Structures are given as structure tokens and as C-alpha cells.
Structure 1
């Protein structure tokens, strides 16, 4: 199975190339139960070339901004999913940034898994947080679906009600965040990446847990303004 991988790198607010903002902290949600929204996406007025990801407030769903359009996914009933395009959303922690131009090069064939991709990004020795984009056809995702009124004091409780999905032979676009300095802030404690995906038909969107990478992968990163 072949994946054509598109990875776009956004540097921090201190870079002349692009801007990245991280609002709130994952650990405050998982361990302190701070589920309320700390950012309203409607307050982000510049939406040109905007990208972002995170959970919805009270862990009711997942959020993804891709090329200036915001999407929310929720579990409607059973394992059914509803995806809506809207900026009328709040998130307890969220990362977002802008990319206006892309450069690219082919990645080594040995990059096959999420861990391989993470190691490859680490080898670039970039100190600032970055976003990346991928396109592919297979992945495991989940949508958080916390029961209303439930209190949270651990990651296990935060994922109560979560629904998992396996996507195969579906055109998908993945937006990810990589940073060596955001464990438990915007990535889980055992990884430096956080990824969401959206199917090309805009009917499924969620947090990426696993994916299979193939030949012909291409790295795209932020160019000039």
C-alpha cells in the first residue's frame, strides 16, 4: 500500500516563516478535570492559511482546522459520527498556526510508522514546535465522547466513552503537531506528536492513534511568506 505523505512544518511565533500558538495544557484536562474551553475559535480572525487541532470543550468531540476551514466531529449514536464545518467551537487546549508557502523533499523509505516519522522529525533537530501534514489511505482514529456531567481526574476517565474507528482505503488528510518540549502540554507524555485526520469526503474526522506509511513519502515544510 502506498501513501503519498505531505508534511508541512510551521515554526513558532518567533520565526519569520510562520506562527504557532498553543493554548491551555493537556495535563490540566486529564489530571485536573479542567474541561471548559480556554479558546473560542471564533476569536481567530485571520483564517487564511490557518491550521489547528485539539479536543472540543468537555471532551465532546474533536476539532481540526485545515487550510482555513474548521471541522468538529462528534459521536452521534452508537459508532455513528457527525462532522460539521464551523468556527463556533471552544477547546480546553488547542494548537494553531499559519503556513503560507511550502517547500518539499522526499523522505527515506525506512519511515513507515508514527514512531519512524517522529524519529525523522527529531533528527531535523528543530527546537521550535511545528505542524505537519500527511495524506494517506489507512489509519486508526478515535473521537472523544465523554458522558455529560462526568468529572475527570485521570487520562482513563478523560477517555471514557471514546469511540474508535479503523479507516481503510479512504483518502485522508492528516494534520499533526510535533515538539520536543510539549509532552503533557499538547502531546501525550510518551510521544512528541499529536495528529488528527479528515477524510476527503469530510464525513469522518478524529484523533490519529496508528497509521501505516508507505513508499513515495514527501516532506513539505514552511517556506517564505
Structure 2
């Protein structure tokens, strides 16, 4: 009987420990797909107000009919629309529909991780994968990340697709609305990494999809086409 009691004690301790351990869920969800947009299907797949009340919400995407870009940082909406090559309007509400939407809920991020200087998307992709692995993230599954800091250069666009245009390609998407280059400005980026979602929510040449907003004046937010920085910091979901 004494031996049985001794066996029960470790089992009870293990069960108690499992009960107190908090699970971390940063699951990446999406509606729509880039391949559908490229095929001309620009219809809405989700309403932003359907996710408005989710806590710790981070998201990016494209509006229905490709009439703008979606950025959500910790539950705050920054929807950008282009009216010409140089004019961007930010709308701060959730009264919009998305043709593509990628989102996750992240209650807690890691402390800042200083990134090495990078001059292209491939370099930053490699650093994100490395740091995620070091911090316990399963890089075989999609995950969100943030980048903050003063960047040397960000190439950006806000799509404004011409009604009735059936010929889709990446260059036309970049140049259909407002686009440009921002230099030496502090920005915040919401991004998603995945090795399994090319042409779904990452482009065919990269495992990343990133959108940004300016930090100081919030005048511009949109899609990141290219990025160079020497002082940027990375944040990934914290694994407890």
C-alpha cells in the first residue's frame, strides 16, 4: 500500500502542474487567397466588424474589389485607401469588407529582438525564421510578428484596382493606386510568416506578408513591397 501511495503522488503533481500551465494560442486564420485575387475574384470573404471585438487582434489584408489595404494593430483599425498616386486616406473604423484577410490574436509578445542590418526581404525572412526557432515557435506553422523602428527605406503601395480590369499581375497591383518610398521614418509592421501558404496569403517568392503604418503622424499605412533597415526590432508571440 505504501508503494502505491508513493506512485500516486508524482502522478498527482504532474496533473496539478498541467492544470496550471497556460497554453499560448496565436493561431493564424485567413479568408480569401491571393491566387483568387490574381484570377479576378475580388469579392468579399469577410466583414471586419465580425472580428472587431476579438481581443489582442492583429490583421492585414485587402478590401473587397481591391479598393484599399487593411491594417489592424492590437484591435485598432487603419484602413488605407488611395485616391491618386500620392494621396492616401486612413479610415479608423471596422465598417469594411475584405477580399483577403489574415489575422491572429496575440496577448503577449517577446521583448524586443534586435535584428541585424538587412537590405531585402530574403534577409529579413531568414532572420525571422531563426529568431522564431530560438524562441520556441514552430516555424512549420504560420505565425504573426511585429517589426518596429526607424527604417532606412520602405517601398510601399495602397491598391486601388480599376473596375473591370481583368488582367492581374503583381506590378499592376503595386501601381494601381498610391505607392512610393519612405525613408528614415519610424514605422510599425504587422506581418505573417508561413512556409505553407504561398499564393494563399504570402506571395510566391517569399514566406512573408507585411503591412505597415507610420508611427508619428499615421498619415500612411499600406502594403510593404521592400524593406531596408539597420536599427529595427522584432517581436514574436511569447511562449510561456
TM range (shorter): 0.7 to 0.9
When the two structures are superposed, what TM-score results if normalisation uses the length of structure 1? 0.83
Indicate whether 1:58 and 2:73 are aligned.
no
How far the C-alpha of 1:149 sits from its partner, in A, is 3.1
| 1:222 partner SS | coil
Q: Quick one: which of 148, 152, 162 aligns to 1:147?
A: 162
Indicate whether 1:181 and 2:189 are aligned.
no
Over the aligned positions, Cα root-mean-square deviation in angstroms equals: 2.2
1:44: which partner in 2? 51
Give the alignment of 1:122-133 within 5 angstroms: 122-123=129-130, 124=133, 126-133=139-146
| Structure 1 runs (4+) greater than 4 angstroms displaced | 152-160
Where does the alignment leave 5 or more consecutive residues of structure 1 unmatched? 1-14
Structure (1 or 2) with the larger CA radius of gyration? 2
How far the C-alpha of 1:19 sits from its partner, in A, is 2.7
Indicate whether 1:214 and 2:230 are aligned.
yes
In structure 1, how many angstroms separate the alpha carbons of the residues matched to 2:218 and 2:117? 30
1:23: which partner in 2? 31
| 1:186 partner SS | coil
| Inter-CA distance 36–104: structure 2 relative to 1 (3 Å threshold) | same
How far the C-alpha of 1:121 sits from its partner, in A, is 2.8
In structure 2, how many angstroms separate the alpha carbons of the residues matched to 1:105 and 1:203? 25
Larger relative contact order (CA 8 Å, sep ≥ 6):
1
In structure 2, how many angstroms separate the alpha carbons of the residues matched to 1:213 and 1:116? 11
| Inter-CA distance 142–157: structure 2 relative to 1 (3 Å threshold) | closer
Indicate whether 1:119 and 2:126 are aligned.
yes
Where does the alignment leave 5 or more consecutive residues of structure 2 unmatched? 1-22
What is the aligned length? 209
